[in-house]
Structure 1
Amino acid sequence: MQTFAGLGSVPHGFGPSAVTIGKFDGLHTGHRVVIEDLLTLAGDDLEPVVVTFDRNPLQLLRPDRSPAPLVGLEQKLELLESVGVGATVVLRFDEALASLEAEAFVDQVLLGPLGMRSLLVGDDFRFGRYGRGDVPLLERMGRERGFAVQVQQQVLKESRRVSSTWIRELLGAGAIEEAAELLGRPPAVRGEVVHGAHRGRELGFPTANLDQQSDGMIPADGVYAGRLVDRSFDPPVTYPAAISVGSNPTFDGVPPKQVEAYVLDETLDLYGHLVDIEFTHRIRGQVAYTGIDPLIAQMTLDVEHVRALTG
């Protein structure tokens, strides 16, 4: 997949193309239907192109309402490549882009640089300054400028639109398996393994602690079954893991939303490694124990539960 960081990176004469636009946060099953339709629309004659943004536009427009991203930008690009997108243009969402009128967005972003011949958008698509652009405007401009507009209907599951918002609700409730069904894969957090307080090692369960600046939405506090994917190798190496999320209420001074993964049956030095922590099942919520021995006993049970689920 070709990835263009801004329109200035798109080579002269690129295209002709079939384009879709969106945040594509998480690239969930609804997004995948859009991509499948884009590839069909492109056929053999057009380059399938996704136009997306380096951040959620709400981070600039309404930071108080901007939700936690389901994936980081690097993760999103990898997911787009995995489903066959030919090229992705990552636009920096800044004041200049936010203030661009809808007609100028079409001319300066889609037609000129990308040579767009077909455009695929959702039925509720809005764009341009103050969101004034909509599907009727696109259809009128298409007739005038010579590009086709195809409207993608919403993808529903149990009468509800499949959306990143719904997935965030599920992750916030710890409903990992339901979130995975909508995503089409296990939810994951990516980050560097850093030194922690080494309490897990002292208890007999050494954990890989994720840096607080990780990418991806961290699910509700609790203990999970899942996998640690070490991305320092090519191809990445995967291990079954018991995962703890939260502040660890038995001990003081643990930062909130700490992600720790205990790799089963392995002794590894993961410090400084970039890893994905994938969540497959929720084992239980967090509990504050009155002493070390009850905590160790519970951790032993948790690990056996994880082993049964991941074995």
Structure 2
Amino acid sequence: MILEGWTAIPDAARGTALALGNLDGVHLGHAAVLRAAHAARPDLPLAALTFEPHPREHFRPDDPPFRLTLLPAKAAALAAAGAAHVFALPFDDTLAAMSAEDFIEQVLHRGLGAKHLACGPDFAFGHRRGGDVAFLQREAEARGMGLTIVPPLHHGNEAVSSTRIRRLLQDGYPDHAAEKLGRPWEIRGEVVHGDKLGRVLGWPTANMWLGRHLEPARGVYAVTVALPDGREAKGVANIGRRPTLGGDPQTRLETFIFDFAGDLYGQEIGVRLVHFLRADAKFAGLEELKTAIAEDERQARAMLG
């Protein structure tokens, strides 16, 4: 259940064990924070508090999109990790100007009635990020709220972080990103009408815009696809600007779903990047492009089994 704000909270959503953070991606480190909140107070409902939009989107609206998960996908991942409630606080000028002490008193204590908090060691909050975990510990304790500070989770020999996962995706390593997320990275969105060229070439594609999602490495991927009816299909996808066809102003995601017949226009699907096959390339003409797509399909089918 997504609750937007901290006033007039239903009784069932008050008095929780609460995980705090931006939680973009809901990766293994975020799951550890949720587990710690639950372990500290298993008698309480488990909830997560996040901000929407991401504070960086509020302060730097002209930055390129960088989100790993938009709110519906984030809430679904938090629910899968055990959260009964997701508080998505609207991050606006009012919240940005709120002092760290007011955030603890007005939002966490009075608004949400939180009984126990959990966060990573670098969680910062309040006006100009004026509150750190030491301040949170002191002020929470004064109000009868417990706090668990969860050390960073390490995978391989590095800490799991949203920043690191973004870099792995931008560098063309969705398989390594998936290890840190605990699942393949998914771009979720509505299927839109393209120019039907894929159909003409023999590979009809489901087209999507990336919107506020991070743009990963441009190129061809073996993917799985979450269909609207709940089934998962396999496919091959291209993320790029179609240089062979003169180039597009916006990056698009075009997915050929194997052995699928149906109309997906206007419906939401999730495309999960499994493996990077090759970089976006410019071909001499449509015949060369068709040859490349056939090889992409062969490789993706082999890889996905």
Give the TM-score normalised by the residue count of structure 1.
0.92
Quote the residue 2:54 is aligned against.
Answer: 56
Whether 1:243 aligns to 2:237 is yes
Question: Aligned match of 1:196 in 194, 197, 203?
Answer: 194
For the 8 Å contact 2:207–2:253, the answer to whether it is kept is yes
Quote the residue 1:31 is aligned against.
Answer: 30
Q: What displacement does 1:195 show?
A: 1.1
Q: What displacement does 1:67 show?
A: 5.7
Question: Aligned match of 2:278 in 271, 284, 291?
Answer: 284
The percentage of counterpart residues that share the same residue type is 35
Question: Aligned match of 1:223 in 217, 220, 224?
Answer: 220
Q: What displacement does 1:212 show?
A: 5.0
Whether 1:275 aligns to 2:275 is no
Whether 1:299 aligns to 2:290 is no
Q: Unpaired segments of 5 or more residues in structure 1?
A: none
Distance 1:13 1:230 in 2: 33
Q: Which moved more, 1:162-171 or 1:125-134?
A: 125-134
Give the TM-score normalised by the residue count of structure 2.
0.94
Distance 1:148 1:273 in 2: 43
Distance 2:194 2:112 in 1: 47
Quote the residue 1:103 is aligned against.
Answer: 101
Q: What displacement does 1:149 show?
A: 1.9
Quote the residue 1:171 is aligned against.
Answer: 169
Question: Aligned match of 1:115 in 100, 113, 116?
Answer: 113
Instruction: Say what the alpha-carbon RMSD is for the aligned residues.
Output: 1.8
For the 8 Å contact 2:191–2:207, the answer to whether it is kept is yes
Distance 1:8 1:53 in 2: 15
For the 8 Å contact 1:249–1:287, the answer to whether it is kept is yes
Secondary structure class of the residue paired with 1:124: coil
Instruction: Supply the AA of the counterpart residue of 1:261.
Output: T
Q: Unpaired segments of 5 or more residues in structure 2?
A: none
1:163-221 deviation digits (Å, cap 9, x = unpaired): 110011011111111111111111111111111111111111111111353x5333211
Quote the residue 2:73 is aligned against.
Answer: 75
Q: Which moved more, 1:221-230 or 1:144-153?
A: 144-153
Distance 2:14 2:270 in 1: 35
Q: How many positions carry a matched residue from both structures? A: 305
Distance 2:138 2:261 in 1: 63
Q: What displacement does 1:266 show?
A: 2.4
For the 8 Å contact 2:120–2:152, the answer to whether it is kept is yes
Cα 1:76–1:14 change in 2 (3 A) is: closer
1:81-126 deviation digits (Å, cap 9, x = unpaired): 1111121111000111111111111111111122222221221221
Distance 2:139 2:282 in 1: 61
Distance 2:236 2:36 in 1: 38
1:129-181 deviation digits (Å, cap 9, x = unpaired): 11111222222223322222221111122332211100110111111111111
For the 8 Å contact 2:6–2:87, the answer to whether it is kept is yes
Distance 1:14 1:75 in 2: 20
Q: What displacement does 1:29 show?
A: 1.0
Instruction: Supply the AA of the counterpart residue of 1:210.
Output: M
Cα 1:255–1:208 change in 2 (3 A) is: farther
